[in-house]
Amino acid sequence: MSAAMAIEEKDLDSLEKRQKLTVSVIGCSRNGLSLAYLLAEAGFKTVVVDKNHSIISSLRNGNAPFLEPELNSLLKKHTKNGCLTFTSDIKEASSKSDVILLFVQTLINQKKKPDYSHIESVCKEVGATMRKGCLIILASTIGVALAENLVKEKLENASGMKAGIDFGLTYSPIRISSGLNFKGFATASQLISSVNEQSLRSACAILNTVIKLRELIKIESMKTAEVVDLFKDAFQDVNIALANEFAQFCEKAGVDFMEIQNMANRHSDCHLPTPRITKEQGSKASFLLLEEAAMTDVKLPLLTLARKVNDEMLRHALRLIIEGLRACNKTLRRARISILGVSSQANMRNLYGSSTRRLVNLLKRKGMVVRVYDPFFSYKELVAKGYPAERTLKETVEQADCLIIMVGHDQFNRLNLKKIKLLARKSAAIVDLGYVIDPVKAVGEGFIYRGLGRGVLAK
């Protein structure tokens, strides 16, 4: 039996007290791993759990799937001192844990509908072996009322115990804001709600050991907390769609969106996000809200349109590439395309949500010859993932008709355009989707330049 359900902050006010608790983090997302490392740093015995054996094997060997120097340093440190262990056995980890954090992905299928089968399966396995008195913290993005219905029901049925009586249950969709490193947890506000007051106090006590500089936003109803989380992400999705529409306007109007964004955002009442190609599954929150709206006979036309706009941005990028090639008087078929960046975020080793593979497939269907490079992945890793990779940046750029910057890695900010011009074919194009190339310098070096929203120098 565990006493985690009744933990108070005074029970965790020293390293010795925290070392008595075992915390399992199920799901090796960037959010899950980051929180696991910070919990280990705070002194908890932390078990990282994922059914993907290759990920667990890599972690045991000291290789994190997300390349952040401090995170890798913590991985090696706490693996060596025993604070961090790794397993693919959910039932074994649950049977030994006082606190279990579920970072289990809600999948979106090809019809843009949510698939909760993975969450259901994990809840059944956790429930089968979890200890009486333990605390469960659901940290995944889910649909409305699913924490109290699907998750609570599966845990109770599998365990024969009751939430709020025999075990604690809390909902807190913990995540790092885009662009922050893993320590962004410590400076980000997080939502939190529980089935009862005691579960809430216990979860706050645990999370406050790593989330100290900003508040835990306590919400009485878990259903309300789910809606807050979905609205927050969907709001961002709509804002990005607006920025993407503005970017396309700027391209046709012959003005530079980045200059406009810089000026507009000086006003406190305006925040224009940067235009972008959204992740492969788009905004999960938007799809979950649209599904809920369909079931309750509510129409969300603005959100539906935002999803359509953002889903079309990859094809808009393809149009920019075609424009660039034609401006260079090059044919599409057999054009040699060099893509820099496969990560979904700048300066991170993370393939989840990357749009590069989809772009590669679109270009190949047009008969183009595609090569890719990313400094955060080895040649063997990229080939194993099915990318047409080259070993070095130089080999990737040689004889290119068009150079595409997919991600704004720092290394790409330092590209030497003079050297690239010598390596690439005559009259090459640059299509900058990562906002790392100065359009004036690119045109000055003789390149045809295209970029999202960068209409001022289009020829």
Top mean pLDDT of 106-120, 339-353, 423-437 is at: 423-437
| Higher per-residue pLDDT: 216 or 418 | 418
The pair of structure tokens assigned to 356 is 């590069």
Mean per-residue pLDDT, 73-90: 83
Given this model, what pLDDT does residue 419 score?
95
E strands along 206-260, which residues?
216-218
| Higher per-residue pLDDT: 66 or 150 | 150
Mean per-residue pLDDT, 214-223: 85
Given this model, what pLDDT does residue 424 score?
95
**Residues forming beta bridges with residue 338, ordered by sequence position:** 371, 403
Tell me which residue of 399, 343, 352, 423 sits closest to 376, measured CA to CA. Answer: 343
Q: Is the pLDDT of residue 9 over 60?
A: yes
CB 116 within 8 A of CB 150: yes
Quick: pLDDT tens for 243-283: 999 999 999 999 999 999 999 999 988 899 999 998 755 58
The pair of structure tokens assigned to 176 is 């790092």
Please give the C-alpha separations between residue 232 and each of 95, 128, 316, in angstroms, as whole numbers. 35, 34, 26
CA 401, CA 321: separation in Å to the nearest integer? Answer: 10
The pair of structure tokens assigned to 11 is 């029970």
Mean pLDDT of the chain: 89
Mean per-residue pLDDT, 309-317: 95
CA 347, CA 408: separation in Å to the nearest integer? Answer: 7
Residue whose tokens read 């679109």 = 362
CA 237, CA 244: separation in Å to the nearest integer? Answer: 10
CB 137 within 8 A of CB 101: yes
Given this model, what pLDDT does residue 323 score?
95
Tell me which residue of 96, 201, 194, 87 sits closest to 151, measured CA to CA. Answer: 194
Mean per-residue pLDDT, 236-240: 94
> What percentage of the chain carries pLDDT values higher than 70?
92
pLDDT band at residue 34 using 50, 70 and 90 as cut-offs: confident
> What's the Rg (C-alpha) of the chain?
24
Q: Which domains does the chain have, with CATH numbers?
A: 4-220 (3.40.50.720), 230-310 (1.10.1040), 313-451 (3.40.50.720)
> What percentage of the chain carries pLDDT values higher than 90?
71
CA 282, CA 290: separation in Å to the nearest integer? Answer: 13
**In degrees, to the nearest 5, what angle opens at C-alpha 284 toward C-alphas 113 and 243?**
125
Alpha-helix runs per DSSP H in 96-221: 117-129, 152-159, 197-207
Q: For the sheet containing 135-138, what is the strand order? A: 84-87, 45-49, 22-26, 99-102, 135-138, 168-171, 190-194, 216-218
Q: Is the pLDDT of residue 185 over 60?
A: no
Residue whose tokens read 């490079």 = 373
Given this model, what pLDDT does residue 213 score?
46
- Amino acid making up residue 184: G
| Higher per-residue pLDDT: 445 or 180 | 445
Please give the C-alpha separations between residue 447 and each of 84, 189, 321, 427, in angstroms, as whole numbers. 50, 44, 13, 6
Tell me which residue of 286, 340, 337 sits closest to 311, measured CA to CA. Answer: 286
CB hemisphere CA count around 414 (13 angstroms)? 5
Mean per-residue pLDDT, 134-161: 94
pLDDT band at residue 171 using 50, 70 and 90 as cut-offs: very high
Given this model, what pLDDT does residue 449 score?
95
Q: Is the pLDDT of residue 209 over 70?
A: yes
Given this model, what pLDDT does residue 186 score?
54
CB hemisphere CA count around 184 (13 angstroms)? 14
Element (DSSP H or E) covering residue 432? strand 429-432
CB hemisphere CA count around 10 (13 angstroms)? 0
CA 437, CA 457: separation in Å to the nearest integer? Answer: 13
Q: Is the pLDDT of residue 45 over 60?
A: yes
CA 110, CA 105: separation in Å to the nearest integer? Answer: 16
Given this model, what pLDDT does residue 280 score?
58
CA 192, CA 220: separation in Å to the nearest integer? Answer: 9
E strands along 202-346, which residues?
216-218, 336-340
Residue 13 has phi, psi (to 5 degrees) of -85, 10
pLDDT band at residue 325 using 50, 70 and 90 as cut-offs: very high
Lowest mean pLDDT among 91-105, 226-240, 344-358: 344-358
Quick: pLDDT tens for 22-33: 999 999 887 888
